[in-house]
Amino acid sequence: MTHSYRFPADFHWGAATSAYQIEGSPLADGAGPSIWERFAHTPGMMANGDTGDVACDHYRRYRDDVRLMRALGLQGYRFSIAWARVLPEGTGRVNQKGLDFYSRLVDELLEHGIEPNATLFHWDLPAALDDRGGWLNRDSADWFAEYAGVVFKALDGRVKRWSTLNEPWVVTDGGYLHGVLAPGHRSKYEAPIAAHNLMRASGAGIQAYRALGKHEIGVVFNIEPKYPASDRAEDIAATRRAQAYMNEQFADPALLGSYPPELKEIFGAAWPDFPEDDFKLTRQPVDFVGLNYYTRAVVRHDPGQYPLRASPVRQPNKTYTETGWEVYEQGLTDMLTWFRQRYGDIPLYVTENGSAFYDPPVAEDEVLDDPLRTGYLRKHLKAMHRAIEAGVNLKGYYAWSLLDNLEWSLGFAKRFGLYHVDFATQKRTPKATAKFYAQVIATNGAVLDD
Ligand code: BGC
């Protein structure tokens, strides 16, 4: 039986990055420091002592990078804006030079026929706001709306697709509960408050957009489907908790105006009674939702795991990426169909999907062969197509990532790029996956046919 993987005619193909991971020059042209600038310069926090000081030097090489996008035939580019470039103190004074960088980037993209898709917050909170309590301060919703308003006014004429936040779960789980990401806190009491304020901020940003913007705005969640390790009741309950904690904690207040009851069970006395009125703010109409998908988790009850009492189980005979994630493409189909069932027929984008695998050093003018990454992409695109066939309103896909970049506290060693980056010389080299993705785009998926 042959199967056609041609995608809908208006399907949108793109690639994604984020500011701190690629830009470099984090303090240039009057920018204020972000919490990632601080975290990366705190001894012991980053693998290999890596920082975003230079990263892919995209702040200075963005024109060349837009050419790389053009060579792939990208229709869209998803990037994030560094809040502290635009408002060095987080609120108040606008730094025009910082805003100008994004303005130039957007112009360059449009000149090359690539649609800009801007995320307002991809984890790099201005350090000055962290000094005022960061996401633990309820005023953060107002700070965010103020910043969003400045950016909308400057760019909405040219940027037609916006997201408020990228993956708030990672911000709170990594940054406030386990301390492995900025700002490096470890508190069961703080994590729910930061989570709630992030979603209040997202709501306030969407409200600001309705007053100032003319196009589309949404929010981006990471979704990792959870499957029980056995049919034992305790594993099923642990799976339910893991599912609520990671996949519903943020989408529920945004789209349903409530929290799943499991969160109170997980956090116990640390789960606050949030004012009912807050959900009017968190639940704002969105034009789309972006979903980031990398892997799944098979879950087992584990009383030693704080605070979830659930832990992932490694699967035998499966391929794992360099970040330790099982390659499980069916999870992408399952996640997209689950999302539609729970939250309704909202237009969806896969705003990130990709894999870190070891890449050998590259020789001059060579295309780097990366069969594991190409296989990952191929499988996930097919899985995405199956979701569309099942009726999911999926509008587009952004590969993570355009370039090898700073994988946060894991440093530069984890390479997710379509283009290989030699961080000593800044030379970009296309990987075979980039060539393959260009064919996918050129044939609107038909190259996947079997
Ligand atoms: C984030 C990216 C990150 C990627 C791979 C997502 O969690 O949005 O910034 O690099 O996954 O880990």
Mutate to test the pocket of ligand 1, among 21, 122, 170, 325 (most ligand atoms within 8 A of CB): 170
Ligand 1, atom 12, lies closest to the CA of 407
CA-based R_g, the chain, Å: 21
Q: What is the pLDDT of residue 366?
A: 78
Residue 343 lies in a domain: yes
Residue 50 Cβ contacting ligand 1 at under 6 Å: no
Ligand 1, atom 9, lies closest to the CA of 18
Q: What is the dihedral of CA 12, 18, 24, 26, to 10 degrees?
A: 130
Q: Find the 17 Cα to ligand 1 centroid distance in Å.
A: 9
DSSP, residue by residue, 370-416:
-HHHHHHHHHHHHHHHHHHHTT--EEEEEEE-SB----GGGGGGS--
Q: Find the 20 Cα to ligand 1 centroid distance in Å.
A: 11
Residue 6 lies in a domain: no
Q: How far apart are CA 87 and CA 143, in angstroms?
A: 10
Q: How far apart are CA 437 and CA 417, in angstroms?
A: 12
Residue 222 Cβ contacting ligand 1 at under 6 Å: yes
Q: What is the pLDDT of residue 361?
A: 83
Residue 316 lies in a domain: yes
Handedness of CA 148, 154, 157, 159 (dihedral sign): negative
Residue 2 lies in a domain: no
What does each C-alpha distance from 155 to 119, 158, 359 come to in angstroms?
A: 12, 6, 37
Q: Find the 410 Cα to ligand 1 centroid distance in Å.
A: 11
At 337, give phi and psi (nearest 5°): -70, -40
Smallest Cα–Cα separation from 197: which of 223, 172, 221, 166? 172
Mutate to test the pocket of ligand 1, among 407, 409, 418 (most ligand atoms within 8 A of CB): 407
Mutate to test the pocket of ligand 1, among 121, 167, 223, 415 (most ligand atoms within 8 A of CB): 167
Task: Give catalytic status of residue 146 as yes or no.
Answer: no
Residue 1 lies in a domain: no
Q: Is 277 exposed, middle or buried (0-12, 13-18, 19+ CB in 10 A)?
A: exposed
Residue 352 Cβ contacting ligand 1 at under 6 Å: yes
For the chain, residues with pLDDT lower than 70 are 1
User: Of ligand 1's atoms, which has the minimum distance to the CA of residue 170?
Assistant: 7
Ligand 1, atom 10, lies closest to the CA of 407
Ligand 1, atom 5, lies closest to the CA of 407
HSE value, Cβ hemisphere, 13 Å, CA-based, for 119: 27
387-411 burial: b if 16+ Cβ within 10 Å, else e: bbeeebebbbbbbbbbbbbbbbbbb
Smallest Cα–Cα separation from 164: which of 85, 83, 227? 83
Residue 5 lies in a domain: no
What stretches of 178-242 adopt beta strand conformation (E)?
Answer: 216-222, 226-228
Mutate to test the pocket of ligand 1, among 121, 408, 418 (most ligand atoms within 8 A of CB): 408
User: Of ligand 1's atoms, which has the minimum distance to the CA of residue 401?
Assistant: 10
Residue 80 Cβ contacting ligand 1 at under 6 Å: no
Residues spanned by the domain of 193? 12-445
For tokens 């050093």, name the residue: 361
**Run of H or E residues at 15:** strand 12-16
Smallest Cα–Cα separation from 337: which of 327, 348, 325? 348
Task: Give catalytic status of residue 352 as yes or no.
Answer: yes
Q: Find the 401 Cα to ligand 1 centroid distance in Å.
A: 9
Ligand 1, atom 3, lies closest to the CA of 407
Active-site position among 115, 262, 329, 352: 352
DSSP β-ladder status, 288-292 and 12-16: unpaired
Strand order across the beta sheet in which 297-301 lies: 226-228, 297-301, 310-312
Residue 170 Cβ contacting ligand 1 at under 6 Å: yes
CATH code at 432?
Answer: 3.20.20.80
**Number of neighbours of residue 1 by Cβ within 10 angstroms:** 3
Residue 450 lies in a domain: no
Q: Find the 80 Cα to ligand 1 centroid distance in Å.
A: 12
Q: Is 85 exposed, middle or buried (0-12, 13-18, 19+ CB in 10 A)?
A: buried
Q: Find the 66 Cα to ligand 1 centroid distance in Å.
A: 21
Residue 249 Cβ contacting ligand 1 at under 6 Å: no
> What is the number of structural domains in the chain?
1
What does each C-alpha distance from 300 to 134, 261, 271 come to in angstroms?
A: 34, 20, 23
DSSP, residue by residue, 29-87:
GGPPPBHHHHHHTSTTSSGGG--TTTTT-HHHHHHHHHHHHHHHT-SEEEEE--HHHH-
Q: Find the 2 Cα to ligand 1 centroid distance in Å.
A: 35
Q: How far apart are the first and last CA of the chain?
A: 8
For residue 379, the one-letter residue type is K
Q: What is the pLDDT of residue 362?
A: 86
Q: Find the 273 Cα to ligand 1 centroid distance in Å.
A: 31
HSE value, Cβ hemisphere, 13 Å, CA-based, for 200: 21
3-state SS track over 122-186 = CCCCEHHHHCCCHHHCCCHHHHHHHHHHHHHHHHCCCCCEEEEEECHHHHHHHHHHCCCCCCCCC
Q: How far apart are CA 215 and CA 152, in angstroms?
A: 10
Residue 224 Cβ contacting ligand 1 at under 6 Å: no
Active-site position among 23, 37, 167, 224: 167
Residue 120 lies in a domain: yes
**Run of H or E residues at 432:** helix 432-442
SS3 label, residue 330: helix
- CB of 284 closer than 8 Å to CB of 203: yes
Smallest Cα–Cα separation from 218: which of 56, 98, 393, 100? 393
Two tokens, residue 295: 């892997």
